Amino acid sequence: MGRWLRFIRHHREFFAYGVVVLVSFLLMSLNTNPQIQQIRTMTAVALGALEHIVSWVPNPISLARENELLRQKNMELADEVNRLRSAALENARLRSLIGLKEEAPHRYLAARVVGRSLDVLRNTLTLDVGISDGVAPGMAVVNGDGLVGRIISASHNYAIASLIPSREFRAAVCDQRSRIEGILKWSGEDINQCLMMNVSKTLDVKVGDVVETSRYSALFPQGIKVGVIEHVENDPASLFHRITVRTFVDFNRLEEVFVYLVSPPSNVFSGIRASGTAIP
């Protein structure tokens, strides 16, 4: 016994490392465990509060750039509002003629980004809204430019959102022009670049087409803009196009977002969390 203890003491660094490796594998295997998710939610509260305190630190470079972009966007939106007003009047007149029902307006909750994940490759945001504001896991997160991601966990006052550029993100999307459907996922390289999967080579997609969320998506409302098709490659070894999509949202500069206050069906979101591969 004493010999063993001496042996362990002599190699304590290796034993300590071995224990940490075992614990880390155990944690990885228990990721979908409800208790572990509960711990993560509790930690989100504590870290959310901490990140909220330190989130006052301004970024002057990003602020100057944001101001410039906002001025430009303001001009574009003012022009678009004018055109949309006349289109809305025409739309209402035509809808009444063919007897279509009005669509319910989307309900959004404004949220401030108080923290971001600390590792490369992990792309999550901590938002200053939580269950007390009506936020729940699975809800879509958007901003003025388009789809940002979805809520993955929420505590009383804070929520964590997973962005489009993250490992488990999938969204059913379609080409706005040709209505061709596909699955959107992150490419794993550029944070603002995604891939539109499962689009057959015989289907009509072009560079410059806008991609938006599909009506078949169980998680996201239809018609949220996602990005624009940047490349369409023909891989001779595949039956599908390799389509690269440049997102409208610049994920390097996210300060404010909006949470779409409609929960997806609970079985859809729990299925995604459990397997990590289900398609929303």
Partner 1 sequence: MSASSVKWIFQYIGVGAVLLVLQATVGRLVAIENVQPDFLLIWIIFVALRRGQLSAVTIGSLAGLVTDLASGEFLGVGVLAKATAGFLSGFFYRSNQIAQSLGSPWFLGIVFLVGIVHNVIFFFFYLQGTHIGFWTSFRVLGILSAVYTTAFAAIPNIVYRRRYEEWGELSE
Interacting residues with partner 1 (CB under 8 A): 12-13, 16-17, 20-21, 23-31, 36, 39-40, 43-44, 47, 50-51, 54-55, 57, 59, 61, 115-124, 126, 152-153, 160, 162, 166-168, 185-191, 197, 251-252, 276-277
Strands 193-197 and 241-247, how do they pair? antiparallel
Within 8 A by CB and 6+ apart from 108, the residues are 142, 258, 259, 260, 261
User: Cβ distance 148 to 254 under 8 Å?
Assistant: yes
Q: Considering the complex, what minimum distance in angstroms separates the CB of residue 150 from partner 1?
A: 12
Q: Considering the complex, what minimum distance in angstroms separates the CB of residue 59 from partner 1?
A: 5
Total residues found in the chain within this entry: 280
Residue whose CB is less far from partner 1, 126 or 143: 126
Residue in 235, 251, 126, 268 with CA at minimum distance from that of residue 191: 251
Q: Considering the complex, what minimum distance in angstroms separates the CB of residue 95 from partner 1?
A: 41
Residue whose CB is less far from partner 1, 39 or 207: 39
237 half-sphere exposure, CB direction, 13 A CA radius: 0
Q: Considering the complex, what minimum distance in angstroms separates the CB of residue 204 from partner 1?
A: 24
Q: Considering the complex, what minimum distance in angstroms separates the CB of residue 98 from partner 1?
A: 42
Instruction: Measure the CA–CA gap between 162 and 195, rounded to whole angstroms.
Output: 17
Residue whose CB is less far from partner 1, 178 or 275: 275
Residue whose CB is less far from partner 1, 94 or 121: 121
Instruction: Measure the CA–CA gap between 258 and 111, rounded to whole angstroms.
Output: 6
